[in-house]
Amino acid sequence: METLIIFTILLYILSTISYFAYLFIQKDNLYRIGFYILTAGFVTHSILIGTAFMNTGSIPVHNLHQTLSMVGWVLTGSFIVFHLRFNLRILGIYTAPMASCIMIVSSRLPIEPAQINNTFKSFWVIFHVIIIFLGEAAFALACGVGILYLFQENAIKTKKRGFFFKRLPSLDMLDNTGYACIVTGFTLVTMGLITGFLYANAIWGRFWSWDPKEIWSGISWLFYAALLHARLASGWRGKKSAIMSIIGFFVLLFTFLGVNLLFKGHHGEFTQW
Amino acid sequence: MVNQAVCSKMPQQKHEILRAVNIQQMILQKKSESMKSDTETFKFKFNNRLQDIVLLGLNHKTADVELRECIGFSKDEADAALQRFQESPLISEIILLSTCNRVEILIAAPDSSQAVETAKKYISESKNIPVSEFEDALYVYTGDDAVRHIFKVASSLDSMVVGEPQILGQLKDAYQTATAKKTSGVILNRLLHKTFFVAKRVRTETGIGDHAVSISYAAIELGRKIFGTLEGKKVLLIGAGEMAELAVEHLIRHRSGKIFVANRTFERGLELASQFQGTAIRFEEITDSLCEVDIIISSTGAQDFVIKREQVKKIMRLRKNRPLFFIDIAVPRDIDPEINQLSNIYVYDIDDLKDVIDENIEDRNREAVKAERIIEEAVIRFRQWYESLNVVPTIKALRQKIWGIAEAEMKKTMNQSLNHLAPDDSQAVWRMVNAMVNKVLHDPTIFLKNDGCHGSKSVYLDAARKLFKLDEE
């Protein structure tokens, strides 16, 4: 198992190197190599996640080690799908290092034997967790695209074109891809929250219990809802949208990690270590 | 017992093998000595002089436009010139390139100085200009320098705008004319094929043609970075100016959408609009049209800003913040530079565009260094091929190739099927192979060395090299 973790990390790191080489040298083969290595990493990572799932019969998010590994897996998978859909190859310089870092941190955390609770084995929990993670991965990609947008916009606006100008795609493509990421993320997170509420009602007899995680999830959801509304109603696009995607991702990061570590609550066990 | 018998045989076998090897070495040494003496004999016996490659011409750097206009050849004139040069015994092969920036004549001839004089004389006679009037503007390159120059020309390193792609097409046309008229032969065919290959390599392996180096192309490059594609993007042209019209033409070529034209004089606006199959609008309608268009090219003679910040700010909400790209080519400027501060709006004036161009030129020049390296490598490779067209290296290479094959096959057979042969027998077989190789090579060698080659010897040498695949490439 540990060998597989190391192998996955190694592949993610190699992919990162390839993508950075592509950023500097701009040879198409380099990004292709980066993408194939990342996909290979995703396959080994899937074996890792699948084995953990088979061993416990529940989704492997019983401690911070597993949760982070799951985050890395979903992020990589989402990037592969987005890459195939939008061909935004340069986004690999954001995803590959991020997946590498997440997996390195995950591997350094203690691997506690999972305490299997029957509540984890429900289909609705599996659905809730996977769909929320997928949504958050899409928001993470939106943040990455937003960062790239700011670089490109700054180059054009200030007329000091520099390193990134020729390496990054058009503002239009970045803006549209970012928007697609947010729409996808928002749809998935909404579905995830609904399944969460339903399951909470089935287990605890109430949809909402003012748990810090619930409150911050609601704040994150409202944030992205406002962002989408502003875009559709008054054309909040371009730089503003990019900045909001980045801020939104930090709100989400706090909801995911900060709330669990600082306020505890009934999602705390996902991030125990 | 068996082991003993094997062991007792071992020294005898070893001895036989060593003898066989010694014999083989002796034969090889003899063969090598014979080849060496052959080579020396050829050197003295045949003074087969290669055709000289020579290039003479003038370009934008050496001649002003009037002279270039006078010397330039039209298609018919070029055909007539090729015909005339073909008849000259002093010129073996010729290609003539004539563009607005250069006139160049590439020649393969037995004597380069005589060929140059012939070409000069022809130019002078056909263009009715004394040689003294254009002689100073002429450059003459021979050998490696001529090869290097033609590689540079095709790779667009010698162009007015480094990296411009047209010259390669013009050179291909010139070559096509020469092949149609049968004025190019083994040497220039090979040189031109190599030239096209080098130009392609330079284009793909360096970024020499990557960046725009004219105002309108710079504007298009920026437009693409903003909108992704220019297809369907609506354009507003304010005022009339040559550069602005050129930019609109480029945009149309990139499939931009509807064109609106606003001019102080509506009549002139109408005229321009019909030229671009667009719509003329009045000057007062500019603000309203900003809701609709994506790219604005302005070049009026107005002293004050034609479009101000407040005008644009108001319409951005109506546009739902869709990006706007202003290209201000006017001096003094038409577009308030403060507009660039607004979100999703990008304003580039003439100086900004010039900066873009300067930066791109710098990039191209950096890439030109890489291109020079590719060219230098190609010059060396061409020279190697060219020198190989001499009789001595070709015969030498031919002998090496045939003997190499015979030797390898002999060794294989000797080690596998004929390892039981006594040393004397082995020696006899080696002698037979040596004799066979010499006899096989005798007639082709005599043919290439002597007068078997009628006409251009290089044709037969080239054929021999191709037939026996003597060149590595």
Report the CATH number at residue B242. 3.40.50.720
B358 and B269 in contact (C-beta within 8 Å)? Answer: no
CB contact under 8 Å between B321 and A235, yes or no, is yes
Mean pLDDT, chain A, integer: 89
A163 — contact with chain B (CB < 8 Å)? Answer: no
Half-sphere exposure of B459 (CA within 13 A, CB side): 9
Instruction: Confirm whether B372 is domain-assigned.
Output: no
Q: Does A55 touch chain B (CB under 8 A)?
A: no
Q: What does the alpha-carbon distance between residue B61 and residue B138 come to, in Å, rounded to a whole number? A: 10
How many angstroms separate the CA of residue A179 from the nearest CA in chain B? 14
Give me the amino acid identity at A74.
V
Residues of B belonging to the active site:
100
Q: Is pLDDT at A142 greater than 90 in this prediction?
A: yes
The pLDDT assigned to B29 comes to 53
The ipTM (two decimal places) reads 0.87
Of A86-95, A124-133, A263-272, B38-47, which gets the smallest average pLDDT? Answer: B38-47
Q: What pLDDT sits at residue B360? A: 83
**Side chain identity at residue B317, one-letter code:** R
Angle, vertex CA A126, rays to CA A123 and CA A130, nearest 5:
145
Q: Check whether residue B79 and residue B185 sit in a common domain.
A: yes
CA distances from B245 to B216, B305, B332 (A): 9, 20, 18
Please indicate, yes or no, whether residues B335 and B397 belong to a single structural domain of this protein: no
B473 is in an annotated binding site: no
Residue B222 lies in a domain: yes
pLDDT given at position A112: 67
Out of B205, B232, B260, pick the residue that ends a domain.
B205
B288: closest CA of chain A, how far (Å): 19
Asked if residue B90 and residue B137 are part of one domain, the reply reads: yes
CA distance to partner chain B, nearest, from residue A175 (Å): 10
- Three-state secondary structure readout of chain B: CHHHHHHHHHHHHHHHHHHHHHHHHHHHHHHHHHHHHHHHHHHHHCCCCCCEEEEEEEECCCCCHHHHHHHCCCHHHHHHHHHHHHHCCCCCEEEEEECCCEEEEEEEECCHHHHHHHHHHHHHHHHCCCHHHHHHHCEEEECHHHHHHHHHHHCCCCCCCCCCCHHHHHHHHHHHHHHHCCCCCHHHHHHHHHHHHHHHHHHHHCCCCCCCCCHHHHHHHHHHHHHCCCCCCCEEEECCCHHHHHHHHHHHHCCCCCEEEECCCHHHHHHHHHHCCCEEECHHHHHHHCCCCCEEEECCCCCCCCECHHHHHHHHHHCCCCCEEEEECCCCCCECHHHHHCCCEEEEEHHHHHHHHHHHHHHHHHHHHHHHHHHHHHHHHHHHHHHHCCHHHHHHHHHHHHHHHHHHHHHHHHHHCCCCCCHHHHHHHHHHHHHHHHHHHHHHHHHHHCCCCCCCHHHHHHHHHHHCCCCCC
Phi-psi region of A216 (alpha: psi -120 to 50; beta: other; left: phi over 0): alpha
B166 is in an annotated binding site: yes
**Distance from C-alpha of B382 to C-alpha of B408, rounded to nearest angstrom:** 30
Query: CB distance from B362 to chain A under 8 Å?
Result: no
Q: Taking CB atoms and an 8 Å limit, are A172 and B323 in contact across chains?
A: yes
Residue B1 is labelled as binding a ligand: no
Q: Is B358 on the interface with A (CB under 8 A)?
A: no
pLDDT digit string, tens, across residues A179-230: 999 999 999 999 999 998 888 888 878 888 788 888 889 999 999 999 999 9
From the list A157, A161, A170, which residue is nearest B227 (CB)? A170
Q: Is B338 annotated as a binding residue?
A: no
CA B183/CA B95 separation, integer angstroms: 7
Q: Tell me the pLDDT band of A266, cut-offs 50, 70 and 90.
A: low
Give the span between the Cα atoms of A200 and B241, in whole angstroms.
70
The predicted structure's pLDDT at residue B241: 77
Compute the nearest-CA separation of B228 from chain A (Å): 5
Could you tell me which residues are beta bridge partners of residue B259? B235
Q: Last residue of a domain, which of B205, B231, B260? A: B205
In this predicted structure, the answer to whether residue A252 has a pLDDT above a threshold of 70 is yes
DSSP per position, A99-120:
HHHHHHHHHHS--PPP---GGG
In whole angstroms, give the CA distance from residue B201 to residue A237: 42
Residue B384 lies in a domain: no
Q: Do A235 and B227 touch (CB under 8 A)?
A: no
Q: What residues contact B429, with CB distance under 8 A and at least 6 apart?
A: B410, B414, B418, B421
Specify the pLDDT at position A171: 96
Going by their DSSP bridges, the two strands B52-59 and B139-142 should be labelled as antiparallel
- Angle at which helices B186-205 and B457-467 pack, to 10 degrees? 60
Question: What distance lies between CA B457 and its chain's CA centroid?
Answer: 27
For residues B183 and B176, the answer to whether their CB atoms sit within 8 Å is no
Does the predicted model carry a pTM greater than 0.90?
no
- CB-CB neighbors (< 8 A) of A156 in chain B: 222, 225-226, 346
Q: Does B323 touch chain A (CB under 8 A)?
A: yes
Q: Which of B225, B321, B359 sits opposite A238 (nearest CB)?
A: B321
pLDDT value of residue B39: 37
Domain check: are B184 and B227 in the same one?
Answer: no
Q: Are B196 and B301 in the same domain?
A: no
Would you call A158 an interface residue with chain B, using a CB distance cutoff of 8 Å?
Answer: no
Instruction: Give the closest-approach CA distance of B295 to chain A in angstroms.
Output: 14
What is the phi/psi pair of residue B145, to 5°? -65, -40
Residues B110 and B200 in one domain: yes
Amino acid B165: pLDDT: 81
* Together in a domain, B176 and B271: no
Last residue of a domain, one of B147, B182, B205: B205
Residue B369 lies in a domain: no
Q: Would the CB atoms of A173 and B228 count as touching at under 8 Å?
A: yes
Listed by number, the residues of chain B in 69-128 with a beta carbon closer than 8 Å to a beta carbon of chain A are none
B260 forms beta bridges with B236, B279
Cβ-based neighbour number of residue A259 at 10 Å: 22
CB B238 within 8 A of CB B403: no
Provide the residue count of chain A. Answer: 273
| Any B CB within 8 A of A3 CB | no
Residues near B125 by Cβ (< 8 Å), separated by ≥ 6? none
Are residue B60 and residue B197 in the same domain, yes or no?
yes
CATH number at residue B160: 3.30.460.30
Which residues of chain B, if any, have pLDDT below 50? 1-18, 21, 30-49, 473
Query: Do residues B288 and B301 share a domain?
Result: yes
pLDDT band at A119 (very low <50, low <70, confident <90, very high): low
Q: Given CB atoms, is A178 within the 8 Å cutoff of chain B?
A: no
From chain B, pick out residues whose CB is under 8 angstroms from the CB of A169.
228
Number of domains into which chain B is organized: 3
**How many Å apart are CA A133 and CA A135, to the nearest integer?**
5
Domain shared by B129 and B254, yes or no: no
* Between B17 and A45, the higher pLDDT residue: A45
- Residue B32 assigned to a binding site: no
- Residue bearing tokens 């693409």: B224
The per-residue b/e assignment along A98-119, b for 16 or more CB within 10 angstroms, e otherwise, is: bbbbbbeebbebeeeebeeeee
Contacts of B343 in chain A (CB under 8 A): 238-240
Crossing angle of helices A171-204 and A123-158, rounded to 10°: 160
- In-domain check, residue B363: no
**Alpha carbon B316 to its chain's center:** 49
- A170 touching B, CB under 8 A? yes
Cβ separation of A234 and B226 shorter than 8 Å? no
Same domain, B197 and B219: no
Angle A123-158/A239-253 helices, nearest 10 degrees? 140
Domain residues for the domain of B37 are: 9-18+28-46+389-467
CB contacts of B352 in chain A (<8 Å) are 159
Structure tokens at B172: 């291909």
- Has residue B377 been placed in a domain? no
- Tokens matching residue A19: 């993508």
Q: Strand B102-109 vs strand B52-59: parallel, antiparallel, or unpaired?
A: antiparallel
Choose from A28, A90, A172 for mutation: most chain B CBs within 10 A.
A172
Q: How far apart are CA B376 and CA B144, in angstroms?
A: 10
Q: Tell me if B311 sits within 8 A of B305, measured CB to CB.
A: no
Residues on chain B touching A166 (C-beta within 8 angstroms): 210-211
Residue B12 makes CB contacts below 8 A (sequence gap 6+) with none
Establish if B226 touches chain A: CB-CB under 8 angstroms. Answer: yes
CA B161 to chain A, closest CA, distance in angstroms equals 21
> Is B210 near chain A, with CB under 8 Å?
yes
Interior CA angle at A168 toward A162 and A174, to 5°?
A: 130
Asked if A167 reaches chain B (Cβ–Cβ under 8 Å), the answer is: no
Longest dimension (CA), chain A: 59
CB contact A234 to B (< 8 Å) = yes
Out of A169, A234, A237, name the one closest to residue B317 (CB). Answer: A234
Q: Is residue B23 domain-resident?
A: no
* A chain contacts of residue B348, beta-carbon cutoff 8 Å: 159
Contact B263, B274 (CB under 8 A): no
Residue of A90, A151, A170 for testing the chain B interface, max B β-carbons within 10 Å: A170
Size of interface A-B (CB pairs under 8 A): 52
Q: Which residue of B has its CA nearest to A167?
A: B225
Do residues B229 and B265 share a domain?
Answer: yes
Tokens 């749809």 locate to A187
Per CB-CB distance under 8 Å, the chain A contacts of B323 are: 171-172, 238
| pLDDT surpassing 70 at residue A30 | yes
Higher pLDDT, B413 or A121: B413
Which of 239-258 (A) contact B at CB < 8 A?
239-240
Annotation-wise, does B247 bind a ligand? Answer: no
Q: Is A160 on the interface with B (CB under 8 A)?
A: no
B435 is in an annotated binding site: no
Integer angstrom CA distances of residue B143 from A89, B106, B107, B161, B379: 47, 11, 11, 26, 10
Task: Decide: helix, strand or coil at residue A258.
Answer: helix
Residues B346, A156: C-beta atoms closer than 8 Å: yes
Q: Helices (DSSP H) in chain A: which residue ranges?
A: 2-25, 28-56, 64-86, 92-108, 123-158, 162-165, 171-204, 212-234, 239-253, 259-262
